[in-house]
Structure 1
Amino acid sequence: MNRTPLALLSAALLFALPLAGQAQQGPAQQGGTKPPARPPVAQPGQRLAPISLQGRYLAARVGEQDHDYDAAADQMDQALALTPLDPELIYAVFRLRMYAGRIDSAAELAPAVLSTRPGDGFANLVMAIEAIKKGNYKAAEQQLTRIGSENQLGALREYVMAWLKAGDKDYAAARSYLARLKPASGERAEAPALVIAAQIDEMAGDKDAAEAKYRRAISIDRNGLRTTISVAEGLRRLGKDAEAREILKTYGTRYSDSVVMDGLMGPNAPMPKPPTPASGIAEILFDIGGILASDPRNQRQDLALIFYQLATALKPEQDFAWLMIAGLYEQFHQIPKAVAALGRIGPTSPLYWQARLRTAALDAQEDKFDQAVARLRTLVAEKPDRIDAALTLADLLRSKDRFADAVAAYDTAISRLGKPDERHWQIYFGRGIALERTKNWPKAEADMKKALELSPEQPYVLNYLGYSWIDQGIHLQEGMKMLERATELRPDDGAITDSVGWAYYRLGQYEKAVEWLERATEQKGDDSTITDHLGDAYWHVGRRREARFQWERALHQNPDKDRLPIIQDKIANGLNPSNDKPTVYEKAADTKQGG
């Protein structure tokens, strides 16, 4: 048999992208094979030899493992230039272009892929999408009938076929396909199915039928954002502008902290585009992506990314898809790509505000703190009736120990609340923490109590307030009850378990402290503070060799810089009044003597 250059590569180096629906094996599943080394980088003044075919493969493999599909696709494109007729290489390049969202360039290779893999799902699907974009619905239908056993469209294929028939103005056939999947009344899928049917009625010119279906859809799914937008857009196209705006306004009021509807309700909002097979099928591809992304084992995110990108190839303004693409890139730690995806969401989109908030948060992840703060301050000023930007700013400032600034941002958010309800406990809790760190305990305590008033069983508030009381030597019995209740609610939370142990330590009950702190280290063994606490407790019960062992461990667990000299002092000299926390009783006695 004639073996191509690709086939001659070692099996361990083959770039094997998964077939649709298959999870890719990692190194452990491949017999423990280590990931390939990254290609060498030239040092100043050094010239490297041209990268070989194998080198391109290795570089692409590294890019794929890092979810940097653009870099991987670039490397594979260059490999293809070296062996342009290799069918396995063509197939690998096609797949990587799909992952990178280069749908048009993937389509250029699809015929070559189909010449050796006629039933390949993605190659046929890409060809169908190209035909849909050109309005050639019969050709698209033919491509879809060739999809083999790896078909990812599943039951939703009937909806795709319905749209294609509608594109050819065969509305009877379109409705026949819809009837095959008609959900029972009250099923979760009934509303989106009604929206599709209404849109096809619109295309057919049956305005009364479309209007009735739109009304039915919104009556059974008033909480669905996509249903709300689709129905409002449909009613606007049918001349029911006032009613459409009222639907959007009602949703925006009900979910004021989730999505801004201003872009769709404004006086200059453009008339929604009429439904087309391209826009309708884009929605179905988006839904398939959502099904794949929700895989509880997180093994199908890459395939989800492809379907979201296919949706945007058919409908570039599919902003829900761009938002999900950004989310996946964030999971993949490809933050610049996530920001770029969010940048595709325009000012008239109901997701524009959310995209800008998310972009600021991503800036913070990339250590662009000042830029993130500047973006958020702009948003805070831009919408004085909203709390989300102020709250995001407050949380960010608190995470960077800018506690006074955080308090000011929380003040802004709380001033915009109106009547707080249970979901707002986190705002008071966050401000309470920031106030405590600025030494303003009376106000901090009031906020903690307010958080518990709104949500009485919040374990993190119970933990923080209960420990704070014990640490100050006040409300000892009530504080310990709060801590015990927090551990009942979160029995496996090492931080809360540590609080109970450290509270017993501050009460001088060292044996109990050891018991709880040992449990905390089992739950969260890599936490320097917990390890340090356990060492202190061991010292007080006479287990001094074990105490020093724990302090040594704490020293290598990235403690806060201000804790380093204290831990080192404990290792060298043991506990003494200069490095030990007194019991609350000793602290109280010292306070009285000092007074």
Structure 2
Amino acid sequence: MRRTHLALLSAALLLSIPATGGAQQGPSGTQAKPPAQRQTQPRLSAITLSGRYLAARVAEQDHDYDSAVDQIDLALGQAQNDPELVYAAFRLRMYAGRIEQAAQLAPQILAARPGDGLANLVLAVQAIKKADYRTAEQQLGRIGGDSQLGPLREYVLAWLKAGEKDFAGARARIAKLKPAGGERAEAPALVIEAQMDEMAGDKAAAEEKYRRAMALDKNGLRTTVSVAEGLMRLGKAAEARELLKTYGEKYSDAVVMDGLIAPNAPIPPQPTPASGISEILFDIGGIMSSDPRNARADLALIFYQLAASLKPEHDFAWLMIAGLYEQFQMVPKAIEALGKIGPNSPLYWQARLRAAALDAQQEKFDQAVARLKTLVAEKPNRIDAALTLADLLRGKEKYSDAVQAYDTAIMRIRNLEERHWSVFFGRGIVLERTKQWPKAEADMKKALELSPEQPHVLNYLGYSWIDQGLHLDEGMKMLQRATELRPDDGAITDSVGWAFYRVGQYDKAVEWLERAAEQKGDDATIIEHLGDAYWHVGRKREARFQWERALNQKPDKDRLPVIKDKLENGLSAANDKPTVYEKPVEAKQGG
């Protein structure tokens, strides 16, 4: 089943959209045109119509929604009354974030299917922008109670009541779904109530609820920012800045609060139904994007786009939109979304880091490095820019430069914590790749000291020891522990098999390496190892077959001549060497 069909199916089930399958079929001329008109239609035009529709479908499959909209709109211009084309154009405009253009098609859709969820919702959003809350409420009422909005529908309706100054009605709506008192889940509801109290002019009630929300959700970024903004509006600016500063210091690797706590930072705007409903639509998008099957990512994008349409400065929405576009491998669109996050946002630093890293995916590696180096210099006390740079350089196999970047990151760590194991692990990898094994080994040990049960570190260090003939017993114990922690990880299974290989237990090596090949059959190293083990147990034809497979699976450059030599001459002392790097003979005596 295609991804786009899954998205439509999700919409049909959850938004009460009739599942006609229109997005999977071409436009129907018999439905769109009477027979007489169809007879006079030039054949070339019909071909062009189909071609444009198919071009839109291909672009949609690639998540290139802007191109898809351009093509479907051209097709729609040739068959303006074709219901399937109209709905396809509406849906693609929503995906592309062209909400105003999508709304233009909504009445045409609702004339045929009055209960359509997305069409009613987008018209409700348009009414909210105009502060026409009664019309918005009527529009949402046509969707039905079992819509995609689900329980959050009551919060949307509560905001509309607040917009109509019916604060008693708004509170009654919220009371229907309010979580039990004292639970963390109560915090968002308290924030909404506090914002509505602000709108009603009850400052004391608003302040009390903001404080309760903060006490329940001290670690939530959105709650912290919302509470701080509320306190600023209530004249508690110094307290709000201190709250933000404390949070920023606690989570310095994730956010930068400089823009919000600056003395000249503007007072946040007053809450409105548009801003409040934007948050609800964002939450719906979050529910969809958390689907473990990833079947509703396209629909999640629609709700993030709607959230940003109601609140253009919704930085969390833009960050999630960027993340989805990155997932869709639409890197320019991801960077464009990140560019919407402004300098005052706590997410601004994160957005700049991510945009720099994405530059490298567009073959703008030098630009990415330059931007990251600027960020490294801009805030000398932060490690994240240096770490991002180090990881980027490591990914591009620029190991010597990566070592320097990791050095910078590690020098900036003020208090070592368990979470820093990955920094030492990363530097250990690039030190090993630059043939500095003693330093690499020290970093691997440090990573394990910080987090003793990290399977990837246990695997890497144990593998490296055994591959070099060092600390065989300890290395084997590490690998066995790693497999207990990650039994289905092909790379770790391969390490155990290779350990048995290096100590000459080839039958066991074959057993483990065959399992690794089943778990991760597209890994050239695993397949090469399996070929080596087959050779040693006399299965030489199968060994050559595996080496041929390895050769076709893009092995590391330094392995290419080795694999070719094995194919031509078989396994020999010259090509059967450690894959980490060969140590002097006298150094291989440990056990």
TM over 0.5: yes
Once the two structures are superposed, residues 558-581 of structure 1 have per-residue CA deviations (whole angstroms, 9 ceiling, x without a partner) of: 222332232222222212222222
Cα distance in 1 for residues equivalent to 2:208 and 2:369: 47
Partner of 1:296: 292
TM-fit CA distance, 1:591: 7.5
Alignment of 1:269-348 (within 5 A): 269-348=265-344
Which letter does structure 2 place at the counterpart of 1:167? Answer: G
Once the two structures are superposed, residues 440-484 of structure 1 have per-residue CA deviations (whole angstroms, 9 ceiling, x without a partner) of: 222211111111110111111112212222233332221222122
2:137 aligned to 141, 165, 189, which one?
Answer: 141
Cα distance in 2 for residues equivalent to 1:411 and 1:587: 25
Q: Secondary structure at the match of 2:294?
A: coil
Which letter does structure 2 place at the counterpart of 1:534? Answer: L
TM-fit CA distance, 1:202: 0.2
1:156 aligned to 152, 157, 182, which one?
Answer: 152
- Structure 2 contact 403–427 (Cα < 8 Å) conserved: yes
- Structure 1 contact 505–583 (Cα < 8 Å) conserved: no
Cα distance in 1 for residues equivalent to 2:331 and 2:273: 33
Partner of 2:30: none
Alignment of 1:75-474 (within 5 A): 75-148=71-144, 151-474=147-470
TM-fit CA distance, 1:130: 1.2
Partner of 1:41: none
Cα distance in 2 for residues equivalent to 1:256 and 1:270: 23
Cα distance in 2 for residues equivalent to 1:288 and 1:456: 38
User: How well do the aligned residues superpose, as a CA RMSD in angstroms?
Assistant: 2.7
Q: Note closer, same or farther for the CA distance 1:204–1:341 as it changes in structure 2 (3 Å cut).
A: same
Partner of 1:18: 8
Partner of 2:38: none
Q: Note closer, same or farther for the CA distance 1:248–1:439 as it changes in structure 2 (3 Å cut).
A: same
Q: Secondary structure at the match of 1:289?
A: helix
- State yes or no: 1:532 paired with 2:539: no
- State yes or no: 1:496 paired with 2:492: yes
Once the two structures are superposed, residues 280-309 of structure 1 have per-residue CA deviations (whole angstroms, 9 ceiling, x without a partner) of: 111111111111111122111111111111
TM-fit CA distance, 1:87: 3.4
**Which 10-residue stretch deviates more, 426-435 or 507-516?**
507-516
Q: Note closer, same or farther for the CA distance 1:256–1:591 as it changes in structure 2 (3 Å cut).
A: closer
TM-fit CA distance, 1:17: 7.6
**Which 10-residue stretch deviates more, 407-416 or 546-555?**
546-555
Which letter does structure 1 place at the counterpart of 2:298? Answer: D
Which letter does structure 1 place at the counterpart of 2:419? Answer: R
Once the two structures are superposed, residues 418-459 of structure 1 have per-residue CA deviations (whole angstroms, 9 ceiling, x without a partner) of: 121111000011111111222222221111111111011111
Which letter does structure 2 place at the counterpart of 1:193? Answer: A
**Which 10-residue stretch deviates more, 230-239 or 572-581?**
572-581
Which letter does structure 1 place at the counterpart of 2:186? Answer: E
TM-fit CA distance, 1:190: 0.5
TM-fit CA distance, 1:519: 2.0
Q: Secondary structure at the match of 2:344?
A: coil
TM-fit CA distance, 1:404: 1.3
Percent same amino acid at aligned positions?
75
- Structure 1 contact 432–448 (Cα < 8 Å) conserved: yes
Which letter does structure 2 place at the counterpart of 1:18? Answer: L
Cα distance in 2 for residues equivalent to 1:86 and 1:553: 51
Which letter does structure 1 place at the counterpart of 2:147? Answer: N
- State yes or no: 1:512 paired with 2:502: no
Once the two structures are superposed, residues 42-77 of structure 1 have per-residue CA deviations (whole angstroms, 9 ceiling, x without a partner) of: xxxxxxx76621112111111121111111111111
Q: Secondary structure at the match of 2:215?
A: helix
Once the two structures are superposed, residues 152-193 of structure 1 have per-residue CA deviations (whole angstroms, 9 ceiling, x without a partner) of: 111111111111111121212112212222221133421000
Cα distance in 2 for residues equivalent to 1:278 and 1:34: 34
Cα distance in 1 for residues equivalent to 2:110 and 2:482: 60
Which letter does structure 1 place at the counterpart of 2:336? Answer: A
**Which 10-residue stretch deviates more, 194-203 or 362-371?**
362-371
Cα distance in 1 for residues equivalent to 2:393 and 2:222: 33
- Structure 2 contact 304–317 (Cα < 8 Å) conserved: yes
Which letter does structure 1 place at the counterpart of 2:503? Answer: L
- Structure 1 contact 257–386 (Cα < 8 Å) conserved: yes
- Structure 1 contact 507–583 (Cα < 8 Å) conserved: no
TM-fit CA distance, 1:587: 7.5
Cα distance in 2 for residues equivalent to 1:180 and 1:144: 18
Which letter does structure 2 place at the counterpart of 1:132? Answer: I
Which letter does structure 1 place at the counterpart of 2:108? Answer: A
| TM-score (structure 2 length as normaliser) | 0.90
Q: Note closer, same or farther for the CA distance 1:510–1:590 as it changes in structure 2 (3 Å cut).
A: farther
Aligned residues: 563
TM-fit CA distance, 1:250: 1.2
- Structure 1 contact 162–177 (Cα < 8 Å) conserved: yes
Cα distance in 2 for residues equivalent to 1:54 and 1:323: 36
Q: Note closer, same or farther for the CA distance 1:530–1:19 as it changes in structure 2 (3 Å cut).
A: closer
- Structure 1 contact 425–451 (Cα < 8 Å) conserved: yes
Q: Note closer, same or farther for the CA distance 1:139–1:433 as it changes in structure 2 (3 Å cut).
A: same
- Structure 2 contact 5–24 (Cα < 8 Å) conserved: no
Cα distance in 2 for residues equivalent to 1:336 and 1:110: 29
Cα distance in 2 for residues equivalent to 1:592 and 1:162: 73
- Structure 1 contact 465–479 (Cα < 8 Å) conserved: yes
Which letter does structure 2 place at the counterpart of 1:233? Answer: E
Which letter does structure 1 place at the counterpart of 2:190? Answer: L
Which letter does structure 1 place at the counterpart of 2:72? Answer: M
Which letter does structure 2 place at the counterpart of 1:451? Answer: A
Q: Note closer, same or farther for the CA distance 1:579–1:568 as it changes in structure 2 (3 Å cut).
A: same
TM-fit CA distance, 1:406: 0.8
TM-fit CA distance, 1:23: 7.8
Cα distance in 2 for residues equivalent to 1:16 and 1:497: 35
- Structure 2 contact 154–173 (Cα < 8 Å) conserved: yes
Once the two structures are superposed, residues 364-415 of structure 1 have per-residue CA deviations (whole angstroms, 9 ceiling, x without a partner) of: 2223211111111111111111111111111111111111111111111111
Q: Note closer, same or farther for the CA distance 1:144–1:562 as it changes in structure 2 (3 Å cut).
A: same
Once the two structures are superposed, residues 285-334 of structure 1 have per-residue CA deviations (whole angstroms, 9 ceiling, x without a partner) of: 11111111111221111111111111111100011001111111111111
Cα distance in 1 for residues equivalent to 2:466 and 2:7: 57
Which letter does structure 2 place at the counterpart of 1:206? Answer: D
- Structure 2 contact 432–440 (Cα < 8 Å) conserved: yes
Alignment of 1:543-554 (within 5 A): 543-554=539-550
Cα distance in 2 for residues equivalent to 1:250 and 1:566: 56
In structure 1, stretches of 5+ residues that fail to align are 1-11, 25-29, 37-48
Cα distance in 1 for residues equivalent to 2:452 and 2:136: 57
Cα distance in 2 for residues equivalent to 1:505 and 1:69: 51
| TM-score (structure 1 length as normaliser) | 0.89
